[in-house]
Amino acid sequence: MNLRTTITGAALGAIMAASATFSGAVAADDTIKVGVLHSLSGTMAISETTLKDAMLMLIDEQNKKGGLLGKKLEAVVVDPASDWPLFAEKARELIEKDKVAAVFGCWTSSSRKSVLPVFEELNSLLFYPVQYEGEESSRNIFYTGAAPNQQAIPAVDYLMNTEGVKRFVLEGTDYVYPRTTNKILEAYLESKGIPKEDILVNYTPFGFSDWQTEVAKIKEFGSAGKKTAVVSTINGDANVPFYKELGNQGVKATDIPVVAFSVGEEELAGLDTKPLVGHLAAWNYFESVESPANKKFIKEWHAFTKNDKRVTNDPMEAAYIGFNAWVKAVQAAGTTNTDAVLDNIIGVTVPNLSGGYATVMPNHHITKPVLIGEIQADGQFEIVQQTPAVVGDEWSDYLPDSKDLISDWRKPLNCGNFNVATGKCGGKGS
């Protein structure tokens, strides 16, 4: 009997299944998967949906250039639904199940802290595109948004030096980013001679909507005869009723200016901005930046979204910088392997959108200019101040437990919290 005829139907089925599995693996090797981890529902969808769209555009543009390492990039989009524990579950799914080469995502620090141990455990890469409170440095995370010295501290300097502000309301959403940022700002303001009684700190929950009492408190605090300003770390859709209530109660920028760290063009798109003209935001990019790179980016964005009214914003630029730095490091490494990319990404320099360049530093932060913008009636910002590029400082000089810490992920130090006073690594943070 011919050996071929002795193969049973079951055995033949097994061979065919194995062949199909092998073919699938080969097909999968034709693409490089990229994780997109942003809330498309819940309180943070107002901000994060645009970042998902921005990542899809960046991936599409890279594919038009020929992809990466001769392969097409494939976006794998998940929705953690503004649920911080769910971010960790979705991150693990992206890495273990979908086998993504890197992940671009998160907005709140609560979501970033939720996923951090997952990326460290599974040795994968997260590019985080939003301003944050510092006090963290992970080998597996790149912080392409602003650290406090690239946004919060320059913002209060502007208020003190240009606006003559003597009293400060630190108004935030009740979670880690506002609380830690305000702790740094309190220490900084006191170091500049602002007494504690001239600093009012207040927190409200995510999605807070009944701002009548809170805005009345701000007005009362600002009636003491000293120039007063609000430093806002309010996040997500709570910004909409907050700004509406400012308008309802006649709080004008000439009386009590508000400088926001989480309000950009996207958030203003849903508001009547006329009562808000003159209020401020501190970012590292505005859509109104005049540069050839920005004009090209905006044109590509409108074409990709098929909507000339879609605005751009700062976290989109941070995503743009992070994505292009990752592409450049992968090209240099010749592989998407995490360790190889880490060996090649420090020192990578890519264009930003304001006509300059951003460099990935040894602490996994990047260089960024600081821009202060005034809200205009059309929902855009007039840039009233711009600094040269600033290196992100992961550990605050104004907190006792942090002032002696540095981060350097190059060998031989390879440490995120090296204490220059004791000469030891470890003891705080990641």
Residues 6+ apart with CB under 8 A from 276: 243, 246, 247, 253, 268, 375
Please tell me the predicted confidence (pLDDT) of residue 83: 97
List the structure tokens of 186.
Answer: 């309190």
**Chain center to CA of 107:** 6
Q: Which residue has the higher pLDDT, 240 or 287?
A: 287
Contact 244, 271 (CB under 8 A): yes
Please tell me the predicted confidence (pLDDT) of residue 168: 98
pLDDT digit string (tens) for 304-324? 999 999 999 999 999 999 999
Distance CA 285, CA 319 (A): 12
pLDDT digit string (tens) for 210-239? 999 999 999 999 999 999 999 999 988 898
Distance CA 351, CA 295 (A): 13
Residue 193 backbone zone (phi > 0: left; psi -120 to 50: alpha; other: beta) = left
CA quadruple 365, 369, 374, 379: dihedral sign: negative
How sure is the predictor about 240, in pLDDT bands with cuts at 50, 70 and 90?
confident
Q: Which residue has the higher pLDDT, 111 or 1?
A: 111
How sure is the predictor about 274, in pLDDT bands with cuts at 50, 70 and 90?
confident
How sure is the predictor about 15, in pLDDT bands with cuts at 50, 70 and 90?
very low
pLDDT digit string (tens) for 54-83? 999 999 999 999 999 999 999 999 999 999
pLDDT digit string (tens) for 337-371? 999 999 999 999 999 999 999 999 999 999 999 99
Q: Whole-number mean pLDDT of the chain?
A: 92
Partnered with residue 375 across adjacent β-strands are 381
How sure is the predictor about 267, in pLDDT bands with cuts at 50, 70 and 90?
confident
409-415 contacts at long range (C-beta below 8 A, 24 or more positions apart): 409/137, 409/139, 409/342, 409/346, 409/362, 409/363, 409/364, 410/346, 410/362, 414/139
One-letter amino acid for residue 117 of the chain: P
Phi, psi of 58 (to 5 degrees): -60, -40
Vertex 226 angle, CA 223 and 231, to 5°: 85
Using DSSP, state whether 351 is helix, strand or coil: strand
Please tell me the predicted confidence (pLDDT) of residue 271: 80
Q: Which residue has the higher pLDDT, 279 or 3?
A: 279
pLDDT digit string (tens) for 27-62? 347 899 999 999 999 999 989 999 999 999 999 999
CA quadruple 37, 209, 274, 260: dihedral sign: negative
The 126-128 sheet, strands edge to edge: 72-78, 31-37, 102-105, 126-128, 141-143
Please tell me the predicted confidence (pLDDT) of residue 11: 39
Please tell me the predicted confidence (pLDDT) of residue 19: 38
Please tell me the predicted confidence (pLDDT) of residue 427: 55
Q: Would you say residue 242 has pLDDT above 90? A: yes
List the structure tokens of 113.
Answer: 């802290």
Please give the share of the chain, as a percent, with pLDDT higher than 70: 93
Using DSSP, state whether 210 is helix, strand or coil: coil
Q: Would you say residue 9 has pLDDT above 50? A: no
Please tell me the predicted confidence (pLDDT) of residue 232: 97
pLDDT digit string (tens) for 410-427? 999 999 999 999 999 985
How sure is the predictor about 326, in pLDDT bands with cuts at 50, 70 and 90?
very high
